[in-house]
Amino acid sequence: MTSQIKTAGSPRTVFGWPRWFGTLFVVDMWERFSFYGMLAILYLYLVAPRSQGGLAMAPDTASALFGIYMALVFMAALPGGWVADRVLGARRAVFSGGVLIASGHLCLAIPVESALYPGLGLIIVGTGLVKPSMAAMIGEMYPGRPERREAVFSIFYMSIQVSALFAPLLTGYAAERVNWHLGFGIAAVGMLAGLVQYAYGLRNFGDVGVHPTNPATPAERSRVLRGTAWWAGVPLLLAGAGIAAGVLTLDRILMLIGLVLLAAPILYVRRLRRRPEVGPGDRPRLRAFLWMLVASSVFWMMYAQGPALLNLFARDAVDRDVAGFEVPASWFQSAQPLFLLLLAPVFALLWTRLGARVATPPKFAAGLLAGGLSFGVMALAAVQAESELISPLWLLVVYLLIVCGELAVGPVGLSLAAEVAPRGNTSQVLGLFWMFAAIGAAFGGRLAELTTVVSLPVYYLVLAVLGTCTALALAAGARTLGRRLKAPPGGET
């Protein structure tokens, strides 16, 4: 009896789904609770003065660190997925990743400055194991039933937004009103709760995820281990030696990591295009897709400003007094998931109604234009904030526009990646999508250093111009890109 038959015959929950679904849903919800709860307070903790328990980091350095952290979280799914598929199996990868994430949050909960980087590192590695493994287990549950699998993923996407909505409210209040490390501790409790639920519900999974789907041979494991030691271990040792000798500073290390992140997608694309299964008909589609990815990275660069500079703006420039209660600055991070929950069904209906009449490039252009407009609004808000505290409605409008952009770039981009991927390379092309998202997040962190030499209104205007110009360029080339993206397999266009 296969694992799929076993799970299909298991008792159902009140929602009509198998018990394994309830287990994975709760685990994913708690994992996202811990992630978004920490994300809402991390930047504020980095820049908060020491008298308030923070690290008193310069805002530009904190932005660069935050951007690199976000980028590494995006990219960690690639090696994490390999470990799950080839070594651990999805089930053990989820549990191991959850343990690492909880350990990372517990490190951040320790009131010791040196715990920051080990804590962030553990969360990055753990997230890289958990996210692709959860998706793989869902895929194993519904082989050959894409409509059912898509429904499950849609519900999981909702769980992410629910967690992102409530997590900043809890961790933000605890961190800003009591102690920063208490906020990180609450995030750790969330992940630990998910692990307990996961361990309890494993009996409902049958054989799903027990073994690696494509086990690596001892020779392959040895080769990957040597490559990891060379490409990751040696740079870490050199960085440690440079820090100890006083040659390397945090800014220089972040710059080096940013260069590596920039080079990784280029090497990844070259390797993908050399695969034997990538035929001549696939190459024009991939080239056009790369232009779409470059445009998407501009959007993710703007998106990454939210938990960083926009949080700082909320703290310093927004009138947060509501009937005598000062709203924590981190609570504004709940605006995005709230708008997304409200607007996702609207955009789904819109794309369905438009159908094939509107291709992907115009949708991307509309998303980038929304992102550019959001920072045009931020530039106006920053001008007004130079003389007085501004209404929170300014930030809410900004987040509303960013969410409209996200709904036009994120789901549409993932769907396009699956469409243009050469046969047998869907996961690789999806990984490429997140690589460019990582580039955007990292570049956004570095770009924030402009705030040390230009005023905030000018900085936000630069972002607005970048987003708008990219949208216009994409719109101008939409017809050509759309034709190449639909290039039939087996022939050039």
Query: Could you read off the pLDDT of 53-89 as tens digits, one per residue?
Result: 899 998 888 888 888 888 888 888 878 877 887 788 8
Q: Write the pLDDT tens digit of every residue in 372-381.
A: 999 999 999 9
Give me the mean pLDDT over the 280-300 stretch.
85
pLDDT at 278: 67
Residue 489 lies inside a defined structural domain of this protein: yes
**Tokens describing residue 322:** 């509501």
CATH number at residue 288: 1.20.1250.20
pLDDT at residue 143 tops 70: no
**Tokens describing residue 61:** 């350095």
Residue whose token pair is 């990957």: 224
Residues 178 and 289 in one domain: no
Residue 41 lies inside a defined structural domain of this protein: yes
**Tokens describing residue 14:** 């009140």
pLDDT at residue 363 tops 80: yes
Range of the domain at 426: 280-493
Residue 18: DSSP 8-state? B
Give me the mean pLDDT over the 4-32 stretch.
63
Residues 179 and 251 in one domain: no
Higher-confidence position of 270 and 188: 188
Q: Is 58 helix (H, G, I), strand (E, B) or coil?
A: coil
Residues 45 and 146 in one domain: yes
Residue 313 lies inside a defined structural domain of this protein: yes
Domain boundary among the residues 259, 274, 289 is at: 274
Query: What is the reported pTM?
Result: 0.82
pLDDT at 409: 87
Query: pLDDT band at residue 154, thresholds of 50, 70 and 90?
Result: low
Residue 136 lies inside a defined structural domain of this protein: yes
* 9: CB partners within 8 A, 6+ apart: none
Domain boundary among the residues 214, 242, 258 is at: 214
CA distance 429 to 424: 10
Q: Phi and psi of 360, rounded to 5°?
A: -65, -45
**Are 61 and 451 a contacting pair, CB within 8 Å?**
no
CA distance 29 to 160: 6
CA distance 114 to 55: 11
Residues 301 and 316 in one domain: yes
Give me the mean pLDDT over the 465-484 stretch.
91
Residues 175 and 238 in one domain: no
Residues 233 and 359 in one domain: no
pLDDT at residue 2 tops 50: no
Query: pLDDT band at residue 476, thresholds of 50, 70 and 90?
Result: very high
Query: pLDDT band at residue 4, thresholds of 50, 70 and 90?
Result: very low
Q: What is the dihedral of CA 400, 406, 407, 410, to 10 degrees?
A: -170
pLDDT at residue 5 tops 90: no
Domain boundary among the residues 187, 214, 241 is at: 214
Give the mean pLDDT of the chain. Answer: 82
Residues 166 and 293 in one domain: no
**Are 43 and 68 a contacting pair, CB within 8 Å?**
no
Residues 365 and 255 in one domain: no
pLDDT at 133: 79
Residues 375 and 470 in one domain: yes
Query: pLDDT band at residue 14, thresholds of 50, 70 and 90?
Result: very low
Residues 286 and 401 in one domain: yes
Strands (E), 162-239: none
Query: pLDDT band at residue 155, thresholds of 50, 70 and 90?
Result: low
**Tokens describing residue 58:** 């310069």
pLDDT at 139: 64
Residues 410 and 427 in one domain: yes
Residue 221 lies inside a defined structural domain of this protein: no
- Using only C-alpha atoms, the chain has a radius of gyration, in whole angstroms, of 22
Q: How many domains does the chain have?
A: 3
Residue 219 lies inside a defined structural domain of this protein: no
Instruction: For residue 405, give Cα distances in angstroms to 162, 296, 302, 330.
Output: 19, 10, 10, 22
pLDDT at residue 99 tops 90: yes
Residues 59 and 203 in one domain: yes
pLDDT at 160: 76
H/E element, 399 = helix 392-420
pLDDT at residue 268 tops 70: yes
**Tokens describing residue 21:** 């679904």
Residue 369 lies inside a defined structural domain of this protein: yes
Give me the mean pLDDT over the 320-349 stretch.
88
Residue 365 lies inside a defined structural domain of this protein: yes
**Are 376 and 464 a contacting pair, CB within 8 Å?**
yes
pLDDT at residue 261 tops 50: yes
